Structure 1
Amino acid sequence: MNRTQDSTTPGRLLVVDCAPGTTALTELADLSGLGFEPTVNVRRVADPELRSRIAARWRTVDFDGFAEEELARQLEDSGLGYQALKCRAGIPLTEAVLERATADSLQHRLMLVGRAAAGSDTFDAAAARRLGVALRTTPGANAAAVAELTLALMLDALRGVSRRAQALREDSWATAAADLPTGSLSGARVGLVGSGATARRVAELVRAFGAGVYVLGSPRFTPERAAGWPGTQVASLQALLESCDVVSVHVPATAETNGLIGAGELRLMKPGSVLVNTARASVVHEADLDRALRDPESGPWHAAVDVFEGEGAGFASPLRDNPHCTLSPHAAGMTRSAMQEASRRIVAEFARYVEENVVVSGRSR
């Protein structure tokens, strides 16, 4: 779009899921201040009082944002359409949804999608580019939060904190005290698959415990960049898996990382080692990890996993009943401070887009 268009008419914005708690009110007010006219989906707003406060100021709807057909139908809005969409979760922004949201029959076509999170792997980026839909995310906003839980999962896997607590609740001191002494981060070799903001923060945290850090980065992780990093660069995934006591995954879901760690890679890991995945489920094959953990002769001794192929109400994983795996409900980035930072950053991304492309009513691009 260009600045010759009428910039006084607010752009229609569908908020699939707003920021949690009262941060939602600040976020919506800030988006309104940019000239957007939010319609807010309250399906995931559990607090009745907050729902009422949102409904008092903005139009609301109630639908399942994870259901592709419902999402597409809401974006069409009986022919009115929306110019912008904001979300927090990984909604199914498929080619089909994008095509319906940008159809010529709509009064307003979708031009901007913002997700208050780092990843966009549930978005069809190629279709968005083809259809002229800008995608904005907030990489790094939750890096500190994800790193904290990564560290907690490492310690739980090594020290058996949650397992021992459960055994004590079941009045089994002997079970709780089994497998002592344990491993520790002090003196351990921690391998990081990935070299982004989260991996770097994890490196800083585990070094404080006395661990050595080894990192496998992307092709962009050049020796020059590695020189200023709190860890030692390794040349291959095989070298990292074979040499490290703890391996932690921190790469996005892409065609290149899909199935990056499968049965063959797990067999390379040291006896007694630990694998932690707080990145994406597609990177580590769940069925392969389940089999490896149950085989004392193959792969890691314990794992800690925060991401699964089937999440939410339909949670399903072969790891569900694996006694050698600590489970976490995709909660790594879910701290209040991280959510607030992601909200601030996505509003800033919307503001930047508005500066460059005035979002108004009408069909012009």
Structure 2
Amino acid sequence: MTGPHCLPRRLLVVDPAPGEQALAELNAFAALGLEPVVNLRRVADAALRARIEASWETVDFDGFREPELAAHLEAEGHGYDALKCRAGIPLTRTVLERATHPGLRHRLVLAGRAAAGSDTFDRAAATRLGVAIRTTPGANAAAVAELTVALVLDALRGVSRRAAALREGSWGAAVEDLPTGSLAGARVGLVGSGAIARRVAGLTRAFDAEVWVCGSPRFTPERAVGWPGRRVESLAELLAGCDVVSVHVPATAETVGLIGAAELRLMRPGSVLVNTSRASVVREEALHHALLDPNRGPWRAAVDVFDTEGPRFSSLLAGNPHCTVSPHAAGMTRAAMREASQRLLGEFASFFGRPEEGPPATDPEGRSRQSS
């Protein structure tokens, strides 16, 4: 019999915390009574791989491939009680059904992701099969907000394309479109009203920008009180009225295709659009074509999320001269990933019965700070 109150519990770590944080994380999981089995596919550092192999059982598989993920969760009949990941792995209905099969010695009861989103998880299937889902919303808010502002500035000031022109020896191309716009005096529109949007609002206000916000139906006038920005009623009003539009909503059925060709046509000539949320929210093809027509929609864009990511990456925007592209890196700072790891450990501690005590604090070598 397996479950939250039975020991020992098996944990499949699909991708551990990055770098030295991995060792502290694995030791903390062990302190919760879990037996980690660590997937080394995304651990590039040979020395770190060797240190993990010396202490933990390891596997090596592509966690983004559904059949491989399902097979390793089954583990030839052994199964797992819990799963931990960082990336958006395909935790589909089929994978969940195989991971909770009654014939397994250990059936999956908890899946945790050290990130805010879970749009690649089938939550309905998880609920039906008794698998709890835990994520870490807000852990990377500061990191995403930082890159968002960096991308806004790059789109406005042309930092990356001017650097590329200079490396090619073309001073003339490097000084095209000068003088540029700036955040100072600009009106910045935020699509979304969560933790990341609020951080972006605060940062852009520091540049003397005016901030407009269009949130979900939950973002009522009462909730907008004290926000560092003006609440607007509709997306259309925000798109038509702002110099910069930055997107900060989750991937849900309601937000798929939220900004397409018609919405882009509402944007001001010379305006900028930044998307660090999810690719499904802003239609890539529509944005690509809008950027090629200077009289319709945004003048520049910066995008950190794409329909096809990873080794098979492809996007029309990668070849668009009016778009800055970034490899889904907005939340990938050491501080943000450490925070996400620690928050997820707290979620595991609560689920498996240690809400008061939690995992012991550890240094990067995995030693308890209380004993050092």
TM-score category, normalised to shorter length: over 0.9
Task: Give structure 1 stretches of 5+ with no counterpart.
Answer: 358-365
Whole-Å separation in 1 of the counterparts to 2:300 and 2:2: 55
2:19 match: secondary structure: coil
| TM superposition score normalised by structure 1 | 0.96
* 2:86 aligned residue (75, 85, 88): 88
Once the two structures are TM-superposed, the CA of residue 297 in structure 1 deviates from its matched residue by 1.7
Q: Which string of whole-angstrom CA distances, capped at 9 and with x for unpartnered residues, describes residues 86-129 of structure 1?
A: 00000000000000000111111100000000000000000000
**How many residues are aligned here?**
355
* 1:265 aligned residue (263, 268, 290): 263
| 1:1-365 matches, cutoff 5 A | 7=6, 9-355=7-353
Identity of aligned residues (%): 71
Is the contact between residue 274 and residue 302 of structure 2 (CA under 8 Å) also seen in structure 1? Answer: yes
2:61 match: secondary structure: coil
Residue identity matched to 1:17: D
2:328 match: secondary structure: coil
Residue identity matched to 2:109: M
Once the two structures are TM-superposed, the CA of residue 356 in structure 1 deviates from its matched residue by 7.6
| TM superposition score normalised by structure 2 | 0.94
Once the two structures are TM-superposed, the CA of residue 10 in structure 1 deviates from its matched residue by 2.0
What CA RMSD, in Å, does the superposition of the two structures yield over aligned residues?
1.4
Residue identity matched to 1:152: A
Whole-Å separation in 2 of the counterparts to 1:214 and 1:303: 19
2:16 match: secondary structure: coil
1:320 match: secondary structure: helix
Whole-Å separation in 1 of the counterparts to 2:211 and 2:69: 43
Residue identity matched to 1:128: A
Whole-Å separation in 2 of the counterparts to 1:19 and 1:211: 36
Is the contact between residue 138 and residue 196 of structure 2 (CA under 8 Å) also seen in structure 1? Answer: yes
Whole-Å separation in 1 of the counterparts to 2:200 and 2:114: 22
Whole-Å separation in 1 of the counterparts to 2:135 and 2:291: 35
Q: Which string of whole-angstrom CA distances, capped at 9 and with x for unpartnered residues, describes residues 36-61 of structure 1?
A: 00000000000011011111111000
Residue identity matched to 2:136: T
1:203 match: secondary structure: helix
Once the two structures are TM-superposed, the CA of residue 30 in structure 1 deviates from its matched residue by 0.3
Once the two structures are TM-superposed, the CA of residue 225 in structure 1 deviates from its matched residue by 1.1
Residue identity matched to 2:227: W
Whole-Å separation in 2 of the counterparts to 1:164 and 1:303: 15
- What is aligned with 2:368? none
Task: Give structure 2 stretches of 5+ with no counterpart.
Answer: 356-372
Whole-Å separation in 2 of the counterparts to 1:63 and 1:6: 29
Is the contact between residue 5 and residue 352 of structure 2 (CA under 8 Å) also seen in structure 1? Answer: no
Residue identity matched to 1:23: Q
Whole-Å separation in 2 of the counterparts to 1:320 and 1:143: 26
Q: Which string of whole-angstrom CA distances, capped at 9 and with x for unpartnered residues, describes residues 130-149 of structure 1?
A: 00000000000000000000
Whole-Å separation in 2 of the counterparts to 1:272 and 1:350: 48
